[in-house]
Amino acid sequence: MLIRTPKEVKEIKKRFLTHYPNAKTELNYSDLYQLLVAVILSAQCTDKRVNLITPKLFQKYPTIFDLAKAEVKDVEELIKSCTYFSNKAKHLVNMAKMVVEEYKGEIPKDEKELVKLPGVGKKSANVVMIEYFGKNLMAVDTHVFRVSHRLGLSSAKTPDKTQQELTTLFKTDLNKLHHAMVLFGRYICTAKEPKCKNCFLKEFCVKERDT
Ligand code: SF4
């Protein structure tokens, strides 16, 4: 396993932050309720698809209280172009019910509470905390996982372990680095046919070295 030196980690970090100084989510939202719903929908689904779905969903259910009273089948109908729409519809309604019943309609502002909500895993909770509150947390989605491995920042088999490793390596600016790594993975270091010619981290690439 390749171990990056502190100097290399520092340089990789600097380049991510320089290339993506204002990186943020590409999900459209206007408040914490909308962000949480969009993040739940985005599991295994593209942000582009979620952004096509949410306007009608939020028009019909403008608040968490409206969503808590929704029929699952009506929510299903509105989100049916999303992957796993049936499960997600159940999660959304149950999440809203739990927020109304157990948190008086206030979405919790803590990742340890957020993960108690239906449909909200550790990654989703961290994404909400990173995006909405700018909290110094890392979240590992498919892009961050791939990029971390290609850059020799992690060799862990699971996103959870990779998250721990990145947190230990980078320590600060984790929220900004999360967004930067997502954008880098989405547009440059893509799963198929990465745009290596445009890569500003080429000399750190394990994939390049092995090919
Ligand atoms: S050189 Fe290519 S594969 Fe390697 S990190 Fe850059 S874009 Fe990704």
Q: For position 102, which CATH number holds?
A: 1.10.340.30
pTM of the model: 0.91
Residue 163 in contact with residue 138, Cβ under 8 Å?
Answer: yes
Most confident of the following: 21-25, 114-118, 203-207:
114-118
Q: Which amino acids are annotated catalytic?
A: 123, 141
For residue 50, how far is its CA from the centre of ligand 1 (angstroms)? 27
Mutate to test the pocket of ligand 1, among 154, 189, 200 (most ligand atoms within 8 A of CB): 189
Query: Are 156 and 102 members of one domain?
Result: no
User: Would you state the pLDDT for residue 1?
Assistant: 59
Q: Is residue 1 part of a domain?
A: no
- DSSP type of residue 167: H
For residue 197, how far is its CA from the centre of ligand 1 (angstroms)? 8
Q: Convert the pLDDT of each residue in 53-110 to its tens digit.
A: 999 999 999 999 999 999 999 999 999 999 999 999 999 999 999 999 999 999 999 9
Coil, strand or helix at 155: coil
**Structure token digits, residue 67:** 């969503």
Domain boundary among 133, 165, 194: 133
User: Would you state the pLDDT for residue 210?
Assistant: 52
Q: Convert the pLDDT of each residue in 31-49 to its tens digit.
A: 999 999 999 999 989 999 9
What average pLDDT does the structure give for the chain?
Answer: 95
Domain boundary among 133, 160, 188: 133
Structural domains in the chain (count): 2
Domain boundary among 110, 133, 156: 133
CA-to-CA distance for 163 and 168, rounded, in angstroms? 9
Q: Which domain holds residue 67?
A: 32-133
